């Protein structure tokens, strides 16, 4: 599946735009229940104004809320960003830590966000279980669990460690392009034969014209 999807999606890098660990951290917090396209639109201006963790930590909260309003749930996100940044300044000298154990202690940062940062900035392999990986991995039949942490550990057991980040990004893009939520495009899916759902929906040798 990794080989097939890599050919199908040669540019499977993360869609969020960033130039340093802090920017990806902020962008990932903003991406909760929001599209990457919208987040990128917001962060284009945001990153020019706030360049360090100290900037966010000392920001006017009301102003920060307005600046990230388009991403939704802006009040909670603004609080998380500011508290997270305050902890970065207080405990890590304003730098984003490179250990999952440290990252998950930050406000607004769970295993998903931590693995996004580790894999896409620091080159430390991690399985990112976002809404797409959650849906696709269950639909394919790679896990029967529903809890993101359990899904992460299930995938860690069957995916080579060096492929964890790449595999996560592949499933995310596959979930956006083909294995969509409401009606997966099984008729054009390149990994249908390996998929529990697709192989049942469209028997081998038959293709839908829909």
Is 112 catalytic? The answer is yes
Please say which residue of 85, 120, 155 terminates a domain. 120
Q: Identify the helix (H) or strand (E) that includes residue 86.
A: helix 74-92
pLDDT at 181: 94
CA 188: distance to chain centroid? Answer: 24
Of the residues 74, 101, 120, the one at which a domain ends? 120
Cβ proximity of 199 and 192 under 8 Å: yes
**pLDDT value for 64:** 98
Q: Write the CATH number for 158.
A: 1.10.1670.10
pLDDT at 202: 61
In a domain, 155, yes or no: yes
Residues 6+ apart with CB under 8 A from 84: 25, 29, 56, 106, 107, 108, 109
Q: What pLDDT score was predicted for residue 209?
A: 33
**Positions of the chain with pLDDT lower than 50, given as ranges:** 205-210
Q: Which of 91, 120, 149 is the last residue of a domain?
A: 120
CATH number at residue 96: 1.10.340.30
Between the CA of residue 161 and those of 38, 133, 142, 166, what are the distances in Å?
31, 16, 16, 10
Q: What is the pLDDT of residue 205?
A: 46
Interval 91-126: pLDDT, tens:
999 999 999 999 999 999 999 999 999 999 999 999
Domain range for 49 = 21-120
- 3-state secondary structure string across 160-179: CHHHHHHHHHHHHHHHHHCC
C-beta separation of 152 from 129 below 8 A: yes
pLDDT at site 28: 97
Instruction: Based on the fold, state whether residues 135 and 190 are members of the same structural domain.
Output: yes
- Active-site residue among 130, 144, 177, 209? 130
Catalytic position from the list 112, 144, 154, 200: 112
Q: What residues have CB less than 8 Å from 128, skipping those under 6 apart?
A: 112, 115, 116, 119, 165, 168, 169, 172
Q: What total number of domains does the chain contain? A: 2
- Annotation marks residue 55 as catalytic: no
Q: Rounded to whole angstroms, how far apart are CA atoms 68 and 46?
A: 8
**Domain assignment present for 38:** yes
């Amino acid at each position: 599946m990794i080989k097939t999807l890599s050919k199908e999606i040669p540019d499977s890098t993360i869609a969020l735009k960033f130039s340093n660990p802090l920017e990806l951290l902020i962008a990932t917090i903003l991406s909760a229940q929001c599209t990457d396209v919208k987040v990128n639109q917001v962060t284009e201006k945001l990153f020019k104004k706030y360049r360090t963790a100290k900037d966010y930590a000392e920001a006017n909260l009301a102003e920060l809320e307005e600046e990230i309003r388009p991403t939704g749930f802006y009040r909670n996100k603004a609080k998380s960003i500011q508290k997270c940044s305050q902890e970065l300044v207080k405990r890590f000298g304003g730098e984003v830590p490179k250990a999952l154990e440290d990252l998950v202690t930050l406000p607004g940062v769970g295993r998903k966000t931590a693995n996004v940062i580790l894999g896409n900035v620091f080159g430390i392999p991690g399985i990112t279980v976002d809404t797409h990986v959650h849906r696709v991995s269950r639909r394919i039949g790679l896990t029967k669990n529903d809890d993101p942490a359990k899904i992460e550990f299930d995938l860690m057991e069957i995916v080579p460690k060096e492929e964890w980040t790449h595999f996560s990004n592949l499933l995310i893009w596959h979930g956006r392009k083909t294995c969509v939520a409401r009606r997966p495009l099984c008729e054009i899916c390149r990994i249908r034969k390996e998929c529990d759902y697709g192989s049942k929906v469209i028997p081998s040798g038959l293709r839908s014209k829909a």
